[in-house]
Homo-oligomer: A and B are copies of this chain.
Amino acid sequence: MAKRTITYADAGVDIGANARWVDTIRSSMSATFGPRVCNRHGSFAGMFRLDYEEILFRRNYRKPILVGCTDGVGTKVLLGISTGQLDGLGIDLVAMSINDLLTCGAEPLFFLDYLAVHKLDPAHLAVLVTGIAKGCEMSNCALLGGETAEMPAMYQKGHFDLAGFAVGVVEAHRQVDPARVSQGDIIIGLSSSGPHSNGYSLTRKLVSRRRLDRSMDELGESLADALMKPTRIYAEAVRQVMAHYRVKRVVTAMAHITGGGLPENVGRVLSPRLDAVIKTAAWSPPPIFAFLQSRGVDQDEMYRVFNMGIGYVLLVRPAFVSGVVRVLERAGEHPAIIGKIKRGRGKVILR
Protein backbone atom coordinates (compact mmCIF):
# COMPACT_ATOMS: atom_id res chain seq x y z
CA MET A 1 0.00 0.00 0.00
CA ALA A 2 2.23 2.77 1.25
CA LYS A 3 5.43 2.55 -0.68
CA ARG A 4 8.45 2.33 1.57
CA THR A 5 11.53 0.55 0.33
CA ILE A 6 13.86 -0.96 2.86
CA THR A 7 17.29 -1.89 1.59
CA TYR A 8 19.02 -4.44 3.73
CA ALA A 9 22.77 -4.41 3.67
CA ASP A 10 22.82 -8.06 4.66
CA ALA A 11 20.42 -10.92 4.62
CA GLY A 12 19.28 -12.20 7.99
CA VAL A 13 16.89 -9.41 8.92
CA ASP A 14 13.66 -11.11 9.92
CA ILE A 15 10.99 -8.90 8.42
CA GLY A 16 8.26 -11.16 9.78
CA ALA A 17 9.21 -10.49 13.39
CA ASN A 18 9.03 -6.79 12.65
CA ALA A 19 5.56 -6.87 11.18
CA ARG A 20 4.12 -4.85 14.04
CA TRP A 21 6.47 -1.95 13.34
CA VAL A 22 5.88 -2.17 9.64
CA ASP A 23 2.16 -1.83 10.38
CA THR A 24 2.80 1.23 12.57
CA ILE A 25 4.84 2.84 9.81
CA ARG A 26 2.26 2.01 7.19
CA SER A 27 -0.67 3.33 9.14
CA SER A 28 1.11 6.58 10.00
CA MET A 29 1.95 7.05 6.33
CA SER A 30 -1.62 6.27 5.25
CA ALA A 31 -2.94 8.83 7.72
CA THR A 32 -1.32 11.51 5.55
CA PHE A 33 -2.97 10.31 2.34
CA GLY A 34 -5.77 12.40 0.94
CA PRO A 35 -7.83 11.49 -2.12
CA ARG A 36 -4.99 12.77 -4.32
CA VAL A 37 -2.59 9.96 -3.42
CA CYS A 38 -2.86 7.08 -5.88
CA ASN A 39 0.00 4.82 -4.83
CA ARG A 40 -0.36 1.28 -6.07
CA HIS A 41 0.61 -1.86 -4.21
CA GLY A 42 4.17 -2.84 -5.06
CA SER A 43 4.72 0.25 -7.16
CA PHE A 44 8.23 1.52 -7.77
CA ALA A 45 7.09 5.12 -7.28
CA GLY A 46 4.74 7.25 -5.23
CA MET A 47 1.88 8.75 -7.20
CA PHE A 48 -0.05 11.93 -6.57
CA ARG A 49 -2.86 13.48 -8.63
CA LEU A 50 -2.14 17.15 -9.16
CA ASP A 51 -5.83 17.61 -8.56
CA TYR A 52 -8.46 14.94 -8.23
CA GLU A 53 -11.11 16.71 -10.21
CA GLU A 54 -10.21 17.86 -13.69
CA ILE A 55 -12.51 20.87 -13.50
CA LEU A 56 -11.24 21.92 -10.10
CA PHE A 57 -7.70 21.55 -11.34
CA ARG A 58 -8.31 23.75 -14.35
CA ARG A 59 -9.98 26.35 -12.20
CA ASN A 60 -7.05 26.59 -9.80
CA TYR A 61 -4.13 26.01 -12.12
CA ARG A 62 -3.66 27.50 -15.53
CA LYS A 63 0.13 27.71 -15.37
CA PRO A 64 1.14 25.48 -12.48
CA ILE A 65 4.72 25.82 -11.26
CA LEU A 66 6.11 22.89 -9.33
CA VAL A 67 8.35 23.72 -6.41
CA GLY A 68 10.97 21.31 -5.06
CA CYS A 69 13.00 21.54 -1.85
CA THR A 70 15.42 19.28 -0.03
CA ASP A 71 17.10 19.50 3.33
CA GLY A 72 18.31 17.46 6.27
CA VAL A 73 18.28 18.05 10.01
CA GLY A 74 22.04 18.48 10.38
CA THR A 75 23.69 17.51 13.63
CA LYS A 76 20.48 17.91 15.64
CA VAL A 77 20.26 14.19 14.81
CA LEU A 78 23.31 13.57 17.04
CA LEU A 79 21.74 15.45 19.95
CA GLY A 80 18.56 13.45 19.38
CA ILE A 81 20.56 10.24 19.61
CA SER A 82 22.39 11.25 22.80
CA THR A 83 19.21 12.49 24.52
CA GLY A 84 17.08 9.64 23.22
CA GLN A 85 14.52 12.21 21.97
CA LEU A 86 13.90 11.06 18.43
CA ASP A 87 10.19 11.76 18.08
CA GLY A 88 10.55 15.43 17.07
CA LEU A 89 13.24 14.83 14.44
CA GLY A 90 10.69 13.72 11.87
CA ILE A 91 8.81 17.01 12.31
CA ASP A 92 12.13 18.87 12.02
CA LEU A 93 12.85 17.09 8.76
CA VAL A 94 9.51 17.98 7.21
CA ALA A 95 9.67 21.55 8.55
CA MET A 96 13.08 22.27 7.00
CA SER A 97 11.85 21.61 3.46
CA ILE A 98 8.21 22.66 3.81
CA ASN A 99 9.00 26.07 5.34
CA ASP A 100 11.41 26.70 2.43
CA LEU A 101 8.70 25.70 -0.03
CA LEU A 102 6.12 28.04 1.52
CA THR A 103 8.27 31.11 0.86
CA CYS A 104 7.22 31.29 -2.79
CA GLY A 105 3.55 30.94 -1.92
CA ALA A 106 3.36 27.27 -2.85
CA GLU A 107 0.86 24.77 -1.52
CA PRO A 108 2.67 21.67 -0.15
CA LEU A 109 1.68 18.51 -2.03
CA PHE A 110 3.88 15.64 -0.94
CA PHE A 111 7.02 14.65 0.89
CA LEU A 112 9.50 11.79 0.67
CA ASP A 113 12.20 10.84 3.15
CA TYR A 114 15.56 9.13 2.93
CA LEU A 115 16.71 7.49 6.13
CA ALA A 116 20.15 5.91 6.34
CA VAL A 117 20.95 3.89 9.43
CA HIS A 118 23.81 1.89 10.90
CA LYS A 119 21.51 -0.97 11.75
CA LEU A 120 17.80 -1.23 11.15
CA ASP A 121 15.91 -0.97 14.43
CA PRO A 122 12.22 -1.13 13.61
CA ALA A 123 11.21 0.55 16.89
CA HIS A 124 13.43 3.56 16.14
CA LEU A 125 12.33 3.55 12.54
CA ALA A 126 8.68 3.66 13.64
CA VAL A 127 9.36 6.64 15.93
CA LEU A 128 11.11 8.53 13.13
CA VAL A 129 8.57 7.74 10.41
CA THR A 130 5.67 8.51 12.76
CA GLY A 131 7.28 11.91 13.39
CA ILE A 132 7.71 12.50 9.67
CA ALA A 133 4.08 11.58 9.08
CA LYS A 134 3.04 13.96 11.86
CA GLY A 135 5.05 16.74 10.21
CA CYS A 136 3.33 15.96 6.92
CA GLU A 137 -0.11 16.17 8.56
CA MET A 138 0.87 19.54 10.06
CA SER A 139 1.87 20.65 6.55
CA ASN A 140 -1.25 19.24 4.95
CA CYS A 141 0.87 17.15 2.58
CA ALA A 142 1.13 13.44 1.88
CA LEU A 143 4.06 11.28 2.95
CA LEU A 144 4.20 9.68 -0.47
CA GLY A 145 7.14 7.36 0.06
CA GLY A 146 10.56 6.89 1.49
CA GLU A 147 13.73 4.88 1.46
CA THR A 148 15.44 3.26 4.40
CA ALA A 149 19.00 2.15 3.78
CA GLU A 150 20.96 0.04 6.25
CA MET A 151 24.68 0.81 5.96
CA PRO A 152 26.68 -0.45 8.93
CA ALA A 153 29.99 0.41 7.25
CA MET A 154 28.98 4.03 6.69
CA TYR A 155 27.23 5.01 9.91
CA GLN A 156 28.53 4.52 13.43
CA LYS A 157 26.64 2.31 15.86
CA GLY A 158 23.32 3.94 16.80
CA HIS A 159 23.76 6.68 14.21
CA PHE A 160 21.53 7.57 11.32
CA ASP A 161 20.98 10.43 8.91
CA LEU A 162 17.79 11.87 7.48
CA ALA A 163 17.10 13.74 4.26
CA GLY A 164 13.75 15.08 3.17
CA PHE A 165 12.23 16.19 -0.12
CA ALA A 166 9.12 18.28 -0.53
CA VAL A 167 7.10 19.11 -3.63
CA GLY A 168 4.50 21.82 -3.88
CA VAL A 169 2.67 23.78 -6.52
CA VAL A 170 1.94 27.44 -7.08
CA GLU A 171 -0.02 29.10 -9.86
CA ALA A 172 2.39 31.27 -11.88
CA HIS A 173 0.66 34.60 -11.38
CA ARG A 174 0.10 33.99 -7.66
CA GLN A 175 3.69 33.20 -6.72
CA VAL A 176 5.39 35.40 -4.15
CA ASP A 177 8.18 37.16 -6.02
CA PRO A 178 10.74 39.10 -3.94
CA ALA A 179 11.37 41.35 -6.96
CA ARG A 180 8.23 43.19 -5.76
CA VAL A 181 9.72 44.04 -2.35
CA SER A 182 9.92 47.80 -2.01
CA GLN A 183 10.61 50.62 0.38
CA GLY A 184 8.07 50.79 3.19
CA ASP A 185 7.20 47.09 3.26
CA ILE A 186 6.77 45.88 6.82
CA ILE A 187 8.52 42.78 8.20
CA ILE A 188 6.28 40.50 10.25
CA GLY A 189 8.03 37.79 12.27
CA LEU A 190 6.55 34.48 13.40
CA SER A 191 7.99 32.97 16.54
CA SER A 192 10.25 29.93 16.56
CA SER A 193 10.13 27.21 19.22
CA GLY A 194 13.89 27.47 19.83
CA PRO A 195 16.92 26.82 17.61
CA HIS A 196 14.72 24.67 15.30
CA SER A 197 17.23 22.63 13.25
CA ASN A 198 20.15 25.03 12.97
CA GLY A 199 23.26 25.82 14.96
CA TYR A 200 23.60 22.39 16.54
CA SER A 201 27.27 21.95 15.72
CA LEU A 202 27.93 25.06 17.80
CA THR A 203 25.33 24.10 20.42
CA ARG A 204 26.87 20.68 20.93
CA LYS A 205 30.18 22.37 21.75
CA LEU A 206 28.53 24.73 24.25
CA VAL A 207 26.64 22.25 26.39
CA SER A 208 28.01 19.31 28.32
CA ARG A 209 26.23 16.03 27.95
CA ARG A 210 25.87 15.55 31.68
CA ARG A 211 23.74 18.67 32.09
CA LEU A 212 21.29 17.80 29.32
CA ASP A 213 18.64 16.02 31.39
CA ARG A 214 18.70 18.26 34.47
CA SER A 215 15.77 20.69 34.77
CA MET A 216 17.04 24.29 34.72
CA ASP A 217 15.32 27.23 36.40
CA GLU A 218 16.26 29.76 33.73
CA LEU A 219 14.72 27.55 31.04
CA GLY A 220 11.78 26.15 32.97
CA GLU A 221 12.68 22.77 31.53
CA SER A 222 15.74 20.62 30.84
CA LEU A 223 18.31 21.61 28.23
CA ALA A 224 17.44 18.45 26.30
CA ASP A 225 13.77 19.47 26.17
CA ALA A 226 14.59 23.04 25.15
CA LEU A 227 17.02 21.96 22.44
CA MET A 228 14.99 19.09 21.02
CA LYS A 229 11.74 21.04 20.54
CA PRO A 230 10.57 20.37 16.99
CA THR A 231 10.90 23.05 14.34
CA ARG A 232 7.67 24.97 13.90
CA ILE A 233 5.84 24.44 10.63
CA TYR A 234 4.26 27.59 9.19
CA ALA A 235 2.17 25.89 6.50
CA GLU A 236 -1.24 26.55 8.00
CA ALA A 237 -0.50 30.20 8.84
CA VAL A 238 0.87 30.92 5.36
CA ARG A 239 -1.99 29.04 3.71
CA GLN A 240 -4.53 31.18 5.53
CA VAL A 241 -2.80 34.42 4.53
CA MET A 242 -2.56 33.33 0.89
CA ALA A 243 -6.20 32.19 0.89
CA HIS A 244 -7.40 35.44 2.47
CA TYR A 245 -5.76 37.63 -0.17
CA ARG A 246 -6.65 35.82 -3.40
CA VAL A 247 -6.44 38.80 -5.73
CA LYS A 248 -4.35 41.46 -4.00
CA ARG A 249 -0.70 40.56 -3.76
CA VAL A 250 -0.06 41.96 -0.30
CA VAL A 251 2.82 39.65 0.65
CA THR A 252 5.92 40.66 -1.32
CA ALA A 253 8.35 38.10 0.10
CA MET A 254 8.74 35.47 2.76
CA ALA A 255 11.84 33.94 4.33
CA HIS A 256 12.47 30.82 6.37
CA ILE A 257 15.03 31.67 9.05
CA THR A 258 17.58 28.84 9.11
CA GLY A 259 21.39 28.70 9.22
CA GLY A 260 22.71 32.23 8.71
CA GLY A 261 19.87 33.64 10.84
CA LEU A 262 17.88 36.76 10.08
CA PRO A 263 20.77 38.60 8.35
CA GLU A 264 21.41 35.94 5.73
CA ASN A 265 17.89 34.68 5.17
CA VAL A 266 16.10 38.02 5.05
CA GLY A 267 19.04 39.20 2.92
CA ARG A 268 18.10 36.66 0.26
CA VAL A 269 14.90 38.52 -0.63
CA LEU A 270 16.48 42.01 -0.80
CA SER A 271 17.48 43.78 -3.99
CA PRO A 272 20.85 45.60 -3.88
CA ARG A 273 19.03 48.91 -3.36
CA LEU A 274 17.06 47.99 -0.27
CA ASP A 275 17.91 47.37 3.36
CA ALA A 276 15.88 45.53 5.96
CA VAL A 277 15.98 47.29 9.31
CA ILE A 278 15.02 44.90 12.10
CA LYS A 279 14.44 46.00 15.70
CA THR A 280 15.44 43.13 17.92
CA ALA A 281 13.57 44.65 20.88
CA ALA A 282 10.32 43.90 19.04
CA TRP A 283 10.22 40.34 20.34
CA SER A 284 11.61 38.22 23.18
CA PRO A 285 13.74 35.24 22.17
CA PRO A 286 13.03 32.00 24.08
CA PRO A 287 15.35 31.70 27.12
CA ILE A 288 17.43 28.95 25.51
CA PHE A 289 19.20 31.58 23.39
CA ALA A 290 20.28 33.65 26.43
CA PHE A 291 21.58 30.45 27.97
CA LEU A 292 23.59 29.53 24.86
CA GLN A 293 24.94 33.08 24.59
CA SER A 294 26.02 32.94 28.26
CA ARG A 295 28.27 30.02 27.36
CA GLY A 296 30.53 32.44 25.51
CA VAL A 297 29.09 33.39 22.12
CA ASP A 298 29.01 37.05 21.14
CA GLN A 299 25.76 38.74 20.18
CA ASP A 300 26.50 39.10 16.44
CA GLU A 301 27.49 35.46 16.18
CA MET A 302 24.25 34.45 17.94
CA TYR A 303 22.21 36.27 15.26
CA ARG A 304 24.32 34.74 12.49
CA VAL A 305 23.96 31.16 13.73
CA PHE A 306 20.50 31.05 15.30
CA ASN A 307 17.03 32.27 14.41
CA MET A 308 16.91 34.03 17.83
CA GLY A 309 13.19 33.44 18.22
CA ILE A 310 11.93 34.32 14.73
CA GLY A 311 11.44 31.25 12.55
CA TYR A 312 9.72 32.78 9.56
CA VAL A 313 9.12 36.29 8.22
CA LEU A 314 6.63 37.84 5.84
CA LEU A 315 7.23 41.14 4.04
CA VAL A 316 3.89 42.89 3.66
CA ARG A 317 2.64 46.07 2.00
CA PRO A 318 2.10 48.62 4.81
CA ALA A 319 -1.64 49.10 4.18
CA PHE A 320 -2.31 45.42 4.77
CA VAL A 321 -0.22 44.79 7.87
CA SER A 322 -3.07 44.86 10.38
CA GLY A 323 -5.16 42.58 8.17
CA VAL A 324 -2.34 40.06 7.74
CA VAL A 325 -1.62 40.16 11.48
CA ARG A 326 -5.27 39.36 12.20
CA VAL A 327 -5.24 36.40 9.81
CA LEU A 328 -2.02 35.12 11.37
CA GLU A 329 -3.46 35.45 14.88
CA ARG A 330 -6.58 33.55 13.86
CA ALA A 331 -4.24 30.84 12.56
CA GLY A 332 -2.77 30.55 16.06
CA GLU A 333 0.40 32.59 15.52
CA HIS A 334 1.73 35.44 17.68
CA PRO A 335 3.05 37.65 14.90
CA ALA A 336 5.37 40.54 15.75
CA ILE A 337 6.10 43.57 13.59
CA ILE A 338 9.86 43.41 13.68
CA GLY A 339 11.10 45.76 10.99
CA LYS A 340 10.78 47.69 7.79
CA ILE A 341 12.26 47.86 4.30
CA LYS A 342 14.23 51.04 3.56
CA ARG A 343 16.42 52.35 0.80
CA GLY A 344 19.90 50.91 1.15
CA ARG A 345 22.47 48.51 -0.22
CA GLY A 346 21.02 45.04 0.20
CA LYS A 347 21.89 44.77 3.90
CA VAL A 348 19.99 43.47 6.90
CA ILE A 349 20.55 45.87 9.78
CA LEU A 350 19.79 44.67 13.31
CA ARG A 351 19.05 47.40 15.83
Cross-chain contact A66 with B48 (CB below 8 angstroms): yes
Q: Number of A residues contacting the other chain (C-beta, 8 Å)?
A: 75
Which residue in B10, B45, B161 is a CB contact (below 8 Å) of A100? B45
Nearest to A73 among chain B residues (CB) is B149
Q: Which candidate, A104-112, A217-225, A228-236, is the interface stretch facing chain B?
A: A104-112
Which residue in B65, B154, B155 is a CB contact (below 8 Å) of A47? B65
Cross-chain contact A9 with B201 (CB below 8 angstroms): yes
Query: How far apart are A92's CB and chain B's nearest CB, in angstroms?
Result: 13
Q: Which of A54-101 contact B (CB under 8 A)?
A: 54, 57-58, 62-72, 74-75, 77-78, 100-101
How would you classify the secondary structure of chain A's contact residues: helix, strand, loop or mixed? mixed
- Assuming A147-B70, A147-B71, A172-B49, is B165 touching A44 (CB within 8 A)? no
Copies of this polypeptide in the complex: 2
Which residue in B40, B103, B116, B155 is a CB contact (below 8 Å) of A178? B40
Q: Which of A20-39 contact B (CB under 8 A)?
A: 38
Residues of B within 8 A of A175 (CB): 47
Nearest to A115 among chain B residues (CB) is B163
A268 interface contact, C-beta 8 A: yes
Nearest to A77 among chain B residues (CB) is B154
Q: Which of A147-163 contact B (CB under 8 A)?
A: 147, 149, 151, 153-156, 159, 161, 163
Cross-chain contact A44 with B103 (CB below 8 angstroms): yes
Contact with B along A111-125 (1 / 0, CB 8 A): 011101000000000
A330 interface contact, C-beta 8 A: no
A269 interface contact, C-beta 8 A: yes
Query: How far apart are A36's CB and chain B's nearest CB, in angstroms?
Result: 9
8 new A-B contacts at CB < 8 Å, known A48-B67, A70-B165, A154-B161: A42-B178, A44-B255, A45-B67, A47-B67, A48-B68, A71-B147, A114-B163, A154-B156
A-B contact pairs, 15 of them (CB 8 A): A40-B179, A43-B268, A46-B69, A47-B65, A47-B67, A47-B68, A47-B175, A50-B64, A66-B109, A68-B145, A69-B112, A69-B145, A70-B112, A72-B149, A114-B114
